[in-house]
């Protein structure tokens, strides 16, 4: 569906595509046709990531509106650009939906558009297919001069996290229990990709970074593995939302906050003033060559459960 949207030929599929792009207005930049054409700023590197969300696996229509579903899928992908400290350049949308419900397509488009607009990311292409269930694949492209990787954490670095954890996990628990409007629902429905925050952190000395979409406990292991270091996390230091225990917050998925390592000098107060968001030291990088994560509560070592794994459930 790339291209000069209005000049597509006739057909039911193209009518639906036109409906989506009309919702996006100037956000949809019809630059290519079979494919989008984008300019990568001189001296920058291209960053690309793809993210699939499937109904019944990643979301349920009784918990989330179609607009929320579109918004969350796009934000999940944009959060991968944040994790690399990249600037969004373009977003591609592949949607499968049950047979031709125009209102459904428009609601998804509105949610995707809201997330893209918030990230100042044009929508540059996509594809539309029929399918029994809604599935969305969002691919994001960004540019960066100095990408942040999961590798790069150095023994002695401090470990930091943005925001407050536990909101999406608590909301999800409430929804599963049948509460249609649990506390922190908005953090589950409308997460925010920490794009500007990530660029600030990269410019301020971060040595390794990632987003914690699978939850802190699960994702910290990836950072430890990639950097080949041990990580010691102090549960008591975790910044949590009201009513959530640190132990629960450590396994709360869908957070889209940033986990990073940096020298102790990282200025958490300057970050907080700039972004009205906490930046908290939650632990430390230990030994090189021992890729593992341990959680501690005071002197005691504790073991929060695993993060949610779509394939082991």
108: three-class secondary structure by DSSP: helix
Angstrom distance (rounded) from CA 219 to CA 67: 27
137: three-class secondary structure by DSSP: strand
Tell me how far, at minimum, the Cβ of 99 lies from a copy of itself, in Å. 7
Give the H or E element holding residue 129. Answer: strand 123-130
Angstrom distance (rounded) from CA 117 to CA 17: 19
Binding mask 150-189 for a copy of itself (x = CB under 8 A): xx--------------------------------------
- Shorter beta-carbon distance to a copy of itself: residue 63 or 149: 149
- Shorter beta-carbon distance to a copy of itself: residue 193 or 241: 193
- Shorter beta-carbon distance to a copy of itself: residue 135 or 185: 135
- Shorter beta-carbon distance to a copy of itself: residue 58 or 72: 58
The residues, ordered by sequence, that sit 6+ positions from 276 with a Cβ below 8 Å of its Cβ are: none
The residues, ordered by sequence, that sit 6+ positions from 303 with a Cβ below 8 Å of its Cβ are: 295
Residues 202-231 that bind a copy of itself (CB under 8 A): 210-211, 218-219, 221-222, 224-226, 228
Binding mask 111-140 for a copy of itself (x = CB under 8 A): -------------xxxxxxxxxx-x-x-xx
The tokens for 203 are: 């410019």
Residues 241-280 that bind a copy of itself (CB under 8 A): none
Which of 70, 88, 90, 122 binds a copy of itself (CB under 8 A)? It is: 90
The residues, ordered by sequence, that sit 6+ positions from 138 with a Cβ below 8 Å of its Cβ are: 50, 51, 53, 73, 74, 76, 77, 91, 92, 93, 94, 112
Tell me how far, at minimum, the Cβ of 13 lies from a copy of itself, in Å. 5
Binding of a copy of itself by 35 (CB under 8 A): yes
Candidate segments 115-123, 143-151, 181-189, 271-279, binder of a copy of itself by CB under 8 A: 143-151
The tokens for 72 are: 């969350």
Binding of a copy of itself by 289 (CB under 8 A): no
The tokens for 232 are: 């010691």
- Shorter beta-carbon distance to a copy of itself: residue 241 or 251: 251
């Amino acid at each position: 569906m790339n291209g000069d949207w209005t000049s597509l030929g006739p057909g039911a599929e193209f009518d639906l595509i036109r409906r989506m792009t009309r919702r996006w207005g100037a956000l949809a930049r019809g630059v290519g046709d079979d494919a989008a054409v984008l300019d990568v700023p001189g001296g920058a590197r291209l960053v690309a990531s793809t993210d699939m969300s499937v109904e019944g696996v990643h979301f349920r229509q009784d918990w989330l509106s179609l607009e929320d579903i579109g918004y969350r899928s796009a934000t999940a992908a944009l959060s991968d650009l944040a994790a690399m400290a990249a600037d969004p350049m373009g977003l591609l949308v592949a949607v499968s939906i049950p047979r031709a419900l125009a209102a459904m397509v428009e609601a998804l488009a509105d949610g995707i558009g809201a997330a893209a607009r918030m990230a100042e990311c044009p929508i540059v292409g996509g594809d539309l297919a029929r399918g029994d269930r809604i599935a969305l694949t969002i691919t994001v492209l960004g540019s960066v001069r100095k990408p942040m990787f999961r590798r790069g954490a150095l023994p002695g670095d401090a470990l930091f996290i943005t925001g407050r954890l536990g909101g999406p996990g608590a909301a999800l628990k409430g929804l599963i229990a049948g509460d249609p409007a649990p506390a922190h629902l908005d953090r589950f429905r409308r997460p925010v990709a920490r794009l500007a925050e990530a660029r600030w952190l990269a410019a301020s000395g971060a040595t390794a970074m990632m987003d914690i979409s699978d939850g802190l406990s699960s994702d910290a292991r990836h950072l430890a593995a990639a950097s080949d270091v041990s990580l010691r996390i102090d549960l008591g230091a975790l910044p949590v939302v009201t009513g959530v225990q640190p132990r629960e917050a450590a396994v709360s998925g869908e957070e889209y906050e940033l986990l990073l390592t940096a020298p102790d000098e990282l200025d958490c107060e300057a970050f907080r003033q700039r972004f009205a968001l906490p930046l908290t030291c939650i632990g430390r990088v230990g030994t090189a060559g021992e890729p593992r994560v341990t959680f501690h509560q005071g002197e005691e070592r504790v073991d929060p459960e695993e993060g949610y794994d779509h394939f082991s459930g």
